[in-house]
Amino acid sequence: MANRLLSANEVAEYLGVPLRTLYHWRRLDEGPRAYRVGKRLRFRLADVDAWLEQRADSDPAA
């Protein structure tokens, strides 16, 4: 399941953030890794989870 490709809407829902926030992170090169498939952005669930883990490790409040 970790290789499943998610849409931007699914990732935003998974992370509990607005879709605009996900696109904002992408513009700042701060969000999870994305792949362009045709005209659409797709995200691997494993990449999203790895991005979350990386942020947890770098969070001084954690």
What is the predicted pLDDT for the residue at 42? 97
Burial 28-46 (b: 16+ CB within 10 A, else e): eeebbebeeeeeebbbbbe
Which domains does the chain show, CATH number per domain? 5-58 (1.10.10)
Using alpha carbons only, how large is the chain's radius of gyration in Å?
12
The token pair at 59 is: 């969070």
Share of the chain above pLDDT 90, in %: 79
Amino acid sitting at position 20: R
Task: Report pLDDT digits (tens) over 19-37.
Answer: 999 999 999 999 999 999 9
Q: Residue 3 pLDDT more than 80?
A: no
Q: Residue 54 pLDDT more than 80?
A: yes
Report d(CA 1, CA 21) in Å as an integer. Answer: 25
